[in-house]
Amino acid sequence: MPYPAEANNFLVEHASCLIHSYEQSFKSELIPSAQKSDPFAKQLFYSPFAVVSHNTEIDPVFNYANVTALELFECTWDEFTRLPSRLSAEPVNQAERKRLLTQVSTHGYIKHYEGIRISKSGRRFLIKNARVWNLSDQQGRYMGQAACFEEWQFL
């Protein structure tokens, strides 16, 4: 997937999938209606909270991160969107992460998730009160999973 920019409408189709799936799962808005002006995909990309998603591969690879997430994980867009999402957690935390994703697959979403993640440079951080949800397109086809969080603490 290319870097979100004006030229590709900030990946408006993927942003729409993220937002629609979030609203279906949580019955609340990812971006408040009052702020959903025409460039909602741009707003999502530059939002102050982290948003990431991964695809449907057997070993899922990240396919989206907004600016906040890219900065937190200390990655460029190209680095992040080639990263298997399991590598966002240290090996010791990968089993717990897999359990979480299985729970999301089964129930559709979870709220208040906390877990330790690691940036490209090895900096560890605890994400707090994350929401994780399944992505689906307008036809209801499974498109992967996403997460958002606005609280984190460096360890």
Q: What is the mean pLDDT of residues 120-136?
A: 97
Contacts of 69 (CB under 8 A, 6+ apart): 50, 51, 52, 80
CA distance 82 to 64: 10
In this structure, what token pair is assigned to residue 147? 């997460």
Average pLDDT, rounded, for the chain? 94
Q: Is the distance from CB of 90 to CB of 124 less than 8 angstroms?
A: yes
CA distance 13 to 17: 6
* pLDDT tens column, 38-88: 689 999 999 999 999 999 999 999 999 999 999 999 999 999 999 999 999
Domains along the chain?
Answer: 6-154 (3.30.450.20)
14 torsion bin: left (phi>0), alpha (psi -120 to 50), beta (else): alpha
Q: Would the pTM of this model clear 0.95, i.e. be above it?
A: no
CA distance 142 to 59: 15
* pLDDT tens column, 81-109: 999 999 999 988 888 888 888 999 999 99
